[in-house]
Structure 1
Amino acid sequence: MPKPSQTKTSPKKTGMAAVAHYDIAAASLAGHEYVIELTVPRPAAVQRVSLPVWIPGSYLVREFSRHLHGLAARQGRSACTVRQIDKCTWDIVCEPNRPLVLRYQVYAFDNSVRTAWLDSQRGFFNPTSLCLRVHGQEDSPHTLTVKKPDDTPDWELATALTPRRAGPDGFGRYTAANYDELADSPVEMGTFWSGSFTAGGVPHRFVVAGAPATFDSARLLRDAQKICETAIRFWHGANKAPHKHYLFMLNAVDDGYGGLEHRASTALICTRRDLPRQGEARTNEGYTTLLGLISHEYFHTWNVKRLRPKEFARYDYTRENYTRLLWFFEGFTSYYDDLLLRRAGLIDDAAYFKLLTKTVNQVQQAPGRYAQSVAEASFDAWIKYYRPDENTANSTISYYTKGALVALCFDLTLRGEGRTTLDDVMRAVWERCQGGPMAESDFTFVLNKLGGRRFDREMAEWVHGTNELPLKKLLQAQGVKLLDEPSQLAQALGLRVSENSGSVVIKVVLAGGAAATAGLAAGDEWLGVELPATRGVPASGWRLSRLDDLTLYAGEARQVTALVARDKRLLRLPLGIPSGATTWRLLPSQENAAPSQAGLPPSGGGSGSARPRGLSTSAAGDSPASTRTWPGR
């Protein structure tokens, strides 16, 4: 997206004035406080306003109104009565059709992508945290003016909103077609780096706050451009993308990771160490993770922001919005984010299979996959995924990771049967739903039609059931090697620990594992281990300062006594040490496949030179046929 000063587009004339206008001022950088004035030109006699309790894309009720205070209302010089109805809703008693002005403050000190932040270095906010919703008038145009803070002459502003009267630094007035568009358009302020590129004929802008001097901005732009071009080509081939501009907002911090998708922008956070560095050509693991995050959030431009659950056709900002389809919208996006990095040529086969191996093992090592289906996990996101505890791994499964493997299973099944691919199914679902609300029946209809048969059993077992996915069979059929490698000690024991200052504290005990059988519990401090006498060696006891000390002292012993402290009480628990526990490692087979694409689902514009053994392909936007060449060729 070009800078506001370069943007000549004016908002479309609708024949009606904006229903609500927000003046936003960074009133106190040190106090982390915004002051908002909301003007409602034509209020009702009792005008209701409310602040959202959640932000779309992050499925947790976060109670943004807890940071709002000092709400007052007036018409001219006359104060109006403000009555609070519930935790986030107020009624204003006023004279109808006479301009109403509300003034209030919002505390902003959450350095995440979900809410709002303000200090002497940077400002950021999602309108869901600052902008009250005017009930009954949500579908009319809204405008927003952001004032530059005093004593910050170098600050700039970036947002995907349409500029109406904005200066070269970006501060000024913006317009939104309705409250939904306003709520979906975060704002970044500060002394950020800014760059731009074009992908698929669409202008894109990238801003980065907090980057060190070693930041290789040119490389980030080149790689982001490849990701965007690959994603646009995936969905539309040579046709136009549905968005007219796009803005990436990246906040680089000492420790942090995450992203939140929006219709024409995304807010990202990463560690500074993950940024590409000048003079460093290699792609380290941290930068690969950042590229995967960029790919994931950009893929959401289609898959959840436009093509979306029918339950999200209109957001209800006052409560949870339930859907059983996050396995599709988050899980399938998680499948394609890394795959599109490979197709864009940003990672090689080895890196791709390393990422896929990690996803497989995350699911295989979670007992919760037997307790909950991905459809159920989608529905329970509001109470489980975003509120993890010591039992989460046993009671639920991630719709991100297992959803990605469900996508993999569908893709490999479709390619193995030779009629179509998951790529074609995704594009056909987009066309069927016209890039709008979607039901599960839309996916199954397209799947059955293009696949040439009914997939009821796969849907029941993979999506709505808790059976194991047929990963091994499907991967091996595509020439992928599956190696069983020894598990790390924590996984072999079935637990997760923290190790700090010579102390081993148990954080999670996995159901069915050796630790659970022994009676170990989350919160236990594992102090030491006792070994029985064997072969003339006397019994002994040892202090543990880290988990790996267990193998040092136990040696070949398969039965020990764990010494733990629980609520200041010392316990002796018999612990069996399992042998032969393994994890998977995936490797592409070189048999009958070029090294650049061995075992991979074909690309939608990738860099491979040959078709992998057993994989059927089709051209983007064309009907499947066995004679098709690689997509994007």
Structure 2
Amino acid sequence: MRYLIIVLLFCFKSVQLVAQTNNYAISFENAVHHEAKISATFKQIAEDTLSLRMSRTSPGRYALHEFAKNVYNFKANDSKGNALKITRNNPYEWKVSGHDGTVIISYTLFANRGDGTYSQIDESHAHLNIPATFMYAPSLSERKIEVDFKTRDDLNWKIATQLPHVKKNTYSAPNLYYFMDSPTELSNHMLREFNVDGQTIKLALHDPGTEEEADAYFEKVKKVVLAEKEVFGELPSFDYGSYTFLACYILNASGDGMEHRNSTILTSTRTLANGGMEGNIGTVSHEFFHSWNVERIRPKSLEPFNFKEANMSGELWFAEGFTSYYTNLILCRAGLITVEKYVEGLTGTFNYVWNSPARQFFNPIEMSYQAPFVDASTSVDPVNRENTFISYYSYGSVLGLALDLSLREKDLNLDDFMKQVWNTYGKSENPYTIENLNNSLNLYAGKEFGNNFFNSFIYKSEMPQYNELFKTVGVSLSQNAETTYFGAAVSITDDLNGKIRSNTKIGSPAYLAGLDKDDIITSINGESFPNGIQFNTFIEDEFKPEDTLSITFLRDGLERKTEVTLTSNPNYTISLVEKNEKAPSKKILKARKAWLKVE
């Protein structure tokens, strides 16, 4: 009986702890200097010492960001206002002891980068990424959270967020994870919304433009939403019946997009009137697709998300890359870009991936593993990314293209495969592995087809037969053997020398000649550069493949000489066949129409 009473008391105490609410408040009196004042109250604390941390990561990002560096003036008191003991064992954590069951903290946050990772506070807005803004108590992560956003009424700020509304300026989250995944925009924004199958899609638009411009842009957003719904056959079931685009298009923002469970951050320096009407809609397409692929079709390697360490996943070629494939495809299907623009727009990504020497080092899974080093991360020491890394966004995008066209040869398609993955893993929110994806493709298209795709292009880094695949939809893939190739990014300096801006590409003429980053080319064949012409244009106009150039250059202030033997440019051109050849057959036009879903 005594044991039973102890168990019941323990369970009651556990329920009390879970039912307790952590309360935050944030104000912006000194917004002009990018500061926020933040306080939080934690009650019914069972442990003697309460650990409080700033996150080192953010949902949707994979690298470390060290948000603690922008926190100062930290204080902690008990319920009676007595100062508590604070100890620091690492840069990210504050340990508070000597409390009476309640800990009340306060601190100042400096924030001045408006994007999907960081926060920005000024008199135009309070753009808040939650991990970059609020401390948290790891031991209280299952508690409900309430936040009082003390808006600047003098600046006409309103609140936009996926957090459910409680009252006035107070919003809630069921637990820490949902809180961390809920960016919030406080600004004088314009709000638009429409209903799809009983759910509300909202656009909170912070842009200096007109109401008419907001209306026009929202029509584009609606087309994207409906075109992506068609891929999966339905919208996700958003937790509180709505999804919010938090679009911040102002000059002091930084270009970015970041998906969240029921919302997304969209930032750009391009306002709607200054190129953003067309230039920003691609991010809308990419991020909303993530509400299926990543947020609910979720890699098991990202579960649970770790706020203390970098998050690594081998599935980003699918999670980010296949989403990137659909980004412009959706714009084409929605009539927001032309078929010609879509097809020709494949060229840059295609060349970046298939002409990269990095494929000899890493396959798409291993490229995905590089995310903690490249995903908005920074490094002081030089790196060799030009030769060792291909973005998993781009790599996955061209593989998604290849898989789609390959499936269409079997009267299948990537849309229906994505539906299958959605129905198997997304709707039930059962995280998947790479092996699960392989098995899903085997189930959808046959074991031989599925295993061949994964064994050739995912577990290895071979190149699909694009030339044959493109022919099935009336697209031309070509190379120009008469165009010269040097193999280095060179800019002309004020004194008409050529400075190599980045690492020369492995196997290129410049690389084989021993040229390297920061070398300064002073003459070619004894002649200096002509004024007013770009380096690549000069090379292409004056020389032919297999020409050998005598190069004089400076390295560390010392003059050196080498010889560069030019080759043909390895870049491809992608275009509609009717642009240079005869019109495609009705069969091919029918296949193209089925692919792009356009007349």
TM bin (shorter chain): 0.7 to 0.9
Match for residue 426 of structure 1 among 418, 431, 437: 418
Between Structure 1 and Structure 2, how many residues are aligned? 568
Output the CA distance in 2 between the equivalents of 1:552 and 1:351: 26
Which residues of 2 match residues 72-471 of structure 1 at below 5 A? 72-75=75-78, 76-95=80-99, 98-149=101-152, 152-166=154-168, 172-212=169-209, 216-237=213-234, 244-254=241-251, 256-272=254-270, 275=272, 287-384=277-374, 386-387=376-377, 391-418=384-411, 420-433=412-425, 434-454=428-448, 455-471=450-466
| Cα distance in structure 2, aligned partners of 1:431 and 1:306 | 11
Q: Pick closer, same or farther for the CA change 1:211–1:374 going to 2, 3 Å.
A: farther
Q: CA deviation at 1:276?
A: 5.7
Deviations 1:282-320 (A, max 9, x none): xx8x65442221100000011111111112221110001
Whether the 8 Å contact between 1:263 and 1:301 is mirrored in structure 2 is yes
Indicate how the Cα distance of structure 1 residues 287 and 500 shifts in structure 2: closer, same or farther if over 3 A, else same.
Answer: farther
C-alpha separation between the residues in 1 aligned to 2:354 and 2:180?
38
More helix by share: 2
Of residues 568-577 and 307-316 in structure 1, the stretch that sits farther from structure 2 once superposed is 568-577
CA distance 1:488–1:592, change in 2 (3 Å):
same
Cα distance in 2 for residues equivalent to 1:475 and 1:446 = 25
SS in 2 for 1:551: helix
What TM-score comes out, normalization by structure 2 length?
A: 0.87
Offset, 1:191: 2.3
Of 561-570 and 106-115, deviating more is: 561-570
Q: Distance in 1 between the 2:69 and 2:59 partners?
A: 18
Structure 1 residues 40-63: Cα deviation after superposition (integer angstroms, max 9, x where no partner): 012232111211101121221010
Is 1:571 the counterpart of 2:574? The answer is: no
Identity %: 23
Per the alignment, residue 510 of structure 2 pairs with 515
Distance 1:164 1:242, change over 3 A: closer
AA in 2 matched with 1:577? L
TM-score, with normalisation over the residues of structure 1?
0.83
Amino acid at match of 1:224: V
Go from structure 1 to structure 2 and tell me whether the alpha carbon gap of 1:49 and 1:486 turns closer, same or farther (over 3 Å shift): farther
Q: 1:591 to 1:555 in 2, by over 3 A?
A: closer
Secondary structure of 1:563's partner? Answer: strand
Q: Is the 8 A contact 1:296 1:336 kept in 2?
A: yes
Larger mean Cα displacement after TM superposition, 361-370 or 384-393: 384-393
1: CA distance, partners of 2:395 / 2:233: 27
Whole-Å Cα distance in 1 between the matches of residues 358 and 366 of structure 2? 12
Amino acid at match of 1:572: K
Amino acid at match of 1:155: W
8 A Cα contact 1:412 1:601, kept in partner: no
- What is the rounded CA distance, in whole Å, between the counterparts of 1:70 and 1:424 in structure 2? 54
Q: Where do 1:514-553 residues align within 5 Å?
A: 514-531=509-526, 540-542=527-529, 546-548=534-536, 550-551=538-539
Q: How far apart are the structure 2 equivalents of 1:176 and 1:247?
A: 16
Q: Is the 8 A contact 1:20 1:134 kept in 2?
A: no
Does the 8 A contact of 1:564 with 1:570 survive in 2?
Answer: yes
Q: Report the Cα distance in structure 1 between the residues aligned to 2:482 and 2:67, rounded to whole angstroms.
A: 43
Q: Which amino acid aligns with 2:457?
A: W
- 8 Å CA contact retained: 2:114, 2:267: no
CA distance, structure 1, for counterparts of residue 432 and residue 541 of structure 2:
57
User: What is the rounded CA distance, in whole Å, between the counterparts of 1:370 and 1:329 in structure 2?
Assistant: 23
> Does residue 469 of structure 2 align to residue 474 of structure 1?
yes
The more displaced of 334-343 and 576-585 is 576-585
Asked if the contact 1:588/1:599 (under 8 Å) is kept, the reply is no
Matched, 1:505 2:499: yes
Give how far 1:473 is off: 2.6
Q: Quick one: which amino acid aligns to residue 251 of structure 1?
A: C
For the structure 1 residues 42 and 240, does the alpha-carbon distance in structure 2 shift closer, same or farther, using more than 3 Å as the test?
closer
Q: Distance in 2 between matches of 1:484 and 1:587?
A: 15
Query: Are the counterparts in 2 of residues 371 and 394 from structure 1 also a CA contact under 8 Å?
Result: no
CA–CA distance in 2 between the matches of 1:243 and 1:333? 24
The one-letter code sitting in structure 2 at the alignment partner of 1:20 is N
CA contact (8 A) 1:108 1:118 kept: yes
Q: Which moved more, 1:111-120 or 1:187-196?
A: 187-196
Residue 621 of structure 1: aligned partner:
none
CA distance in 2, matches of 1:310, 1:582: 37
What SS class does the counterpart of residue 188 from structure 1 fall into?
Answer: strand
Q: Post-superposition shift, 1:77?
A: 1.9
Deviates more, 1:356-365 or 1:28-37: 356-365
Q: Using a 3 Å threshold, how does the CA distance of structure 1 residues 548 and 360 change in structure 2: closer, same or farther?
A: closer
Q: Report if aligned partners of 1:260, 1:266 keep a CA contact under 8 Å in 2.
A: yes
> How far apart in 1 are the matches of 2:566 and 2:383?
22
Q: Which residue of 1 aligns with 2:43?
A: 41
SS at structure 1 position matched to 2:535? coil
